Amino acid sequence: MMRAASTRVEAEVIDGKVELVLGDAACLPYRDNTMDRIFHCNCYYFWPDVNKVCLKLHRVLKDGGIMVTCLSLDRMQDIDSRGYLQCAISWDPNIYIDALKKTGFVNVEMKDEYCDKTKQAFQAIYAYKPCINES
């Protein structure tokens, strides 16, 4: 995955716009309020403690920042039915969405999206960290 991601966003990494990190999402090595945006794909269902990771994501995201995760529900159902997700905790997006809300994210929603390049449908979960002056 790291190799594929590195190839796909090589120019953005070189320009300093993107940083790819392989590590434990529950131990993010970043200071508080340092990221404008967080994107992750196909991983929340492997986190042993989804609430703990959501707290970490919330901690490092700047006020007003956005966190986006992508997955394909159709593909998840297919690979789960084949027994390939035995190591997954739960790929149910509602569990993840609830954890995001419980840890302080707002306007959390899952939307159906479509990639023009690959001609594939997928789902994106959007979550925002409120600005400090918002109540």
pLDDT digit of tens for each residue in the chain (135 aa)?
A: 778 888 888 888 899 888 888 888 898 889 999 999 999 988 898 899 999 999 999 999 999 999 999 999 999 999 989 988 888 888 899 999 999 999 999 999 999 999 888 888 999 999 999 998 754
Alpha carbon distance, N-terminus to C-terminus of the chain: 39
CA gap 28, 22 in Å, rounded:
10
Res 70: pLDDT:
94
Res 134: pLDDT:
54
Residue 4 corresponds to which tokens in the numbers above?
A: 């594929």
CB of 88 within 8 A of CB of 45? yes
- pTM here is 0.85
Residue 122 corresponds to which tokens in the numbers above?
A: 């997928």
CA gap 25, 3 in Å, rounded:
18
Res 95: pLDDT:
93
